[in-house]
Structure 1
Amino acid sequence: MCLINFHLNNHPNYKLIVAANRDEFYDRPTAPAQFWEDEPEILAGRDLLQKGTWLGITKRGRFAALTNFRDPDQMVTGKASRGEIVKNYLAGNTDPLNFLQSLKNSKDNYTGFNVIVGNTEQLFHYNNIENEITEIPSGTHGLSNHSLNTPWPKVTKGKKRLSEYITDQEVIQTNVLFEIISDAEEAQDWNLPETGVSLDLERKLSPLFIKTPNYGTRSSTVLIVGHDDTVTFVERTYEAGELKKENEFSFHL
């Protein structure tokens, strides 16, 4: 997952609103979102290579999502799959702070990552580079491949458009959220971050929705949780940037 825009609390009808993109190599085998056969409480897509996931929610309202921390020095082999972090949180019963404290103790088992864990009313952020656990305040936030609310162009644009939309709407439309995160416009060179990759690659990775010959946005997820504990979870999957399928789930916590 490479971009998570979300709004926590502070809305008359919704506790949590999430609009997120997962970016990955096109040839990495992936299952679309579903309730898992081996963990029936979990609703999430699944990486079929390592059996983890990047974003999910449970029937009890546990929520977690993960992005990589972009740093070429972090790209080493032989470490554990970061997708197991989200899976382990969703499948467990440990409260968020204790889970993250335990994760801090094993942070070197993984290459760079950000993770958000909690429930539909309270969320925490942690990454193993800065190594700090932070409770996320109410409001609109964005997370890409640095830290929470780092003002990369895609994060700034996504937060602004999400905030503007939900401020004016009592009823949130999933199609509008998908429209926000389907923006494929590259950022201007002067506004690009410097993350240790080439300028050409920085350009290609700068949009909210990424499309390159072998890597890009594989799926988009919209999650809406009302104050009445009604959950709407919609996933759109893509092949080389083209919409392949949409799956929608609704349930009550």
Structure 2
Amino acid sequence: MCVVALAHRVHADWPLILIGNRDEFHARAAAPLHAWEDGSGIVAGRDLQAGGTWLGVHGPSGRTVVVTNVRGAMPDPAKDSRGALVSDLLRGEGRFADPSAEDLPRFNAFNLFAVDGGAARLLTNRPVPLIVPLEPGVHALANEPVDAPCPRAERLRAALETVVAAGADPASLLDMLMAEDDPALFLRGDIYGTRASTLALISADGRARMTEHRYEAGGRPAGTTALEFHIGS
């Protein structure tokens, strides 16, 4: 996931709105958005190479997590999986269910939003390991260090902020994420590009909606999954 925006406790209908594009090599196998069948309660796509995920919601609790990588940092295959960090945070169980700043260098470079109930946090290990609580508002991340300007993250943040201010339907943002006139948000590469656009919504009364548009090489549509469920059910 290379650009993502979070509206935390500021939309009248949806106190949680999470939207973003995942950019990845097209050859890296992934399962579409689904309720995992391992008893974890996770609803997410799944990286079939490492077994984790990049964005998901935990159905029983409503915990919501998304991760991006950080450009310019050489991956170290000996480090722990960032997707496993997301999975542990979603489940609230496992080695990294409640990581400290000292744990964060164990992973390749990343930025991450984690929402649990009324609390939201930013976790990152670039430029330094950091865990920061987020105030209600609209926040955005991309694959840049959090202290660096990022025009595409700001573009998506501003678009989500407009939706929030108008009390509008956030689903309109999915069209923006694949706009042909905005290559900064949607990458149409044949080898590496945008693989999925995902929108996750949770209402004040616990209704959850998730929509995932998938793409293959060149940005060609490869399917859509839309799920609705109730947190805690």
Same fold (TM over 0.5): yes
Q: CA RMSD in A?
A: 2.0
Is 2:160–2:170's contact at 8 Å kept on the other side of the alignment?
no
Q: In the aligned structure 2, how far is the partner of 1:84 from the partner of 1:67?
A: 13
Q: In the aligned structure 1, how far is the partner of 2:158 from the partner of 2:166?
A: 13
Name the amino acid aligned to 1:214. I
Is 2:105–2:129's contact at 8 Å kept on the other side of the alignment?
no
Is 1:140–1:159's contact at 8 Å kept on the other side of the alignment?
yes
Q: In the aligned structure 1, how far is the partner of 2:108 from the partner of 2:4?
A: 19
Per-residue deviation, residues 90-116 of structure 1 (Å, max 9, x unmatched): 12248x9x7131xx3333322111122
Task: Report deviation, 1:78.
Answer: 2.5
1:68 is aligned to 2:69: yes
* Corresponding position of 1:162: 160
Is 1:5–1:162's contact at 8 Å kept on the other side of the alignment?
yes
Task: Report deviation, 1:250.
Answer: 0.8
* Corresponding position of 1:230: 207
Q: In the aligned structure 2, how far is the partner of 1:86 from the partner of 1:152?
A: 23
Secondary structure at 1:99's aligned position in 2?
A: coil
Q: Kindly, what percent of the aligned residue pairs are identical?
A: 30
Alignment TM-score, normalising by the size of structure 1: 0.83
Structure 2: 5+ residue stretches without partners: none
Q: Which runs of 4+ in 1 moved over 3 A?
A: 147-151, 183-186
Structure 1: 5+ residue stretches without partners: 187-205
Task: Report deviation, 1:242.
Answer: 1.2
Q: In the aligned structure 2, how far is the partner of 1:148 from the partner of 1:8?
A: 18
Per-residue deviation, residues 156-200 of structure 1 (Å, max 9, x unmatched): 111111211231134x152x11012223446xxxxxxxxxxxxxx
Task: Report deviation, 1:229.
Answer: 1.4
More helix by share: 1
CA separation of 1:124/1:23 partners in 2, compared to 1, >3 Å: closer, same or farther?
same
Q: In the aligned structure 2, how far is the partner of 1:229 from the partner of 1:81?
A: 30
Q: In the aligned structure 2, how far is the partner of 1:46 from the partner of 1:244?
A: 16
Secondary structure at 2:227's aligned position in 1?
A: strand
Task: Report deviation, 1:150.
Answer: 4.7
Structure with larger Rg: 1
